[in-house]
Structure 1
Amino acid sequence: MKAKQVSVFLENKSGRLNEVAQILGEAGINISAFTVADTSDFGVLRLIVSEPEKAYSVLKENQFSARTTDVVLANSPNRPGALSKMLKILNAEGVFIEYLYAFTMNEETAVIVIRPTNIDKCIASLEKNRDALLSNNNYKL
């Protein structure tokens, strides 16, 4: 399914990540998943949150450089080979992935956060190949 991700640009300074977590917590926004990519000068914090538009607003109000981005969330079996199978299908369908990250829901299910260059093509490819992905159990978009 299509979802909104919040991206926050952070200076590489002690405490900046905690500031974001504190601001979101005080606003009642739950963080389901996050990843940080960094360079020597700054980092990009990417978040899946309960209320992305509210998160964007409160971060901007607190002088953070933030934006929202569309991503695809796909449930996958949490077992060896499931990610490879999904990526092989997307590659065969010509879906280019800018980046992805994942988090586990429980012992059986993982959620893959995918940022493809073409959201609609990615969703259509996953739906078209649902049966192949279902052979790993628990797949749903």
Structure 2
Amino acid sequence: MKVQQISVFLENKSGRLAMLTKVLAQEKINIRALSIADTTDFGILRLIVDQPDAAYLMLKRAGFTVSETAVIAVEIPDHPGGLAEILDILAGAEINIEYCYALPQKSNDKALVVFRVERLDEAIRVLLEKGVGVLKEDSVYGI
């Protein structure tokens, strides 16, 4: 149920993101979700791709500073307050959320959100006990 996320350190330079996406495209690696957090000098690009191991290797070979991080993809009820329900579950278990971002919607009644949390295994257990859908990696890579 853990999903491998690729994180890439990018300088804020024209064309750097284009170069990264070109490397992935040449290797036929499809981006499923992304998030960029930036400062004036650099950014951290977080990616969910269909082939995380291959993406990691290709980006390393291309000279990018790359790391892998385990995250979870969670089904969120797609109604007002749906995200709040999930956050309350995690807060009740005193599990800190480091960051989150959305994935493409899987169905009309669920939204999908990627979470990086402290105590990942405990977060998965608590969410499953509460009946929350935590997607398996193959489901996420195949979106």
TM over 0.5: yes
Instruction: Name the structure 1 match of 2:124.
Output: 123
| Partner SS state of residue 28, structure 2 | coil
2:100–2:115 Cα contact (<8 Å) kept:
yes
- The separation in 2 between residues aligned to 1:21 and 1:108, in whole angstroms, is 31
Unmatched tracts of structure 1, length 5 or more: 131-138
Cα distance, 1:79 vs. partner? 2.3
Could you list the per-position Cα deviations for residues 76-99 of structure 1 after superposition, in whole angstroms to 9, with x for gaps in the alignment?
222221111000110001111111
- The separation in 1 between residues aligned to 2:103 and 2:78, in whole angstroms, is 10
When the two structures are superposed, what TM-score results if normalisation uses the length of structure 2? 0.88
Cα distance, 1:111 vs. partner? 1.2
Paired letter, 1:117 = E
Q: Which has the higher contact order (CA 8 A, sep 6+)?
A: 2
When the two structures are superposed, what TM-score results if normalisation uses the length of structure 1? 0.89
Q: How does 1:38-57 map to 2 (within 5 A)?
A: 38-57=38-57
Query: What is the aligned residue count?
Result: 133
| Partner SS state of residue 79, structure 1 | coil
**Structure 1 segments (4+ residues) deviating >4 Å:** none
1:3–1:70 Cα contact (<8 Å) kept:
yes
2:7–2:47 Cα contact (<8 Å) kept:
yes
1:33–1:48 Cα contact (<8 Å) kept:
yes
- The separation in 1 between residues aligned to 2:78 and 2:53, in whole angstroms, is 30
1:97–1:116 Cα contact (<8 Å) kept:
yes
2:33–2:104 Cα contact (<8 Å) kept:
no
- The separation in 1 between residues aligned to 2:31 and 2:73, in whole angstroms, is 15
Instruction: Name the structure 2 match of 1:89.
Output: 89
| Partner SS state of residue 80, structure 2 | coil
RMSD: 1.2
- The separation in 1 between residues aligned to 2:14 and 2:109, in whole angstroms, is 36
Instruction: Name the structure 1 match of 2:58.
Output: 58
Q: How does 1:13-28 map to 2 (within 5 A)?
A: 13-28=13-28
Unmatched tracts of structure 2, length 5 or more: 135-143
Paired letter, 1:88 = D
- The separation in 2 between residues aligned to 1:62 and 1:124, in whole angstroms, is 38
1:11–1:42 Cα contact (<8 Å) kept:
yes
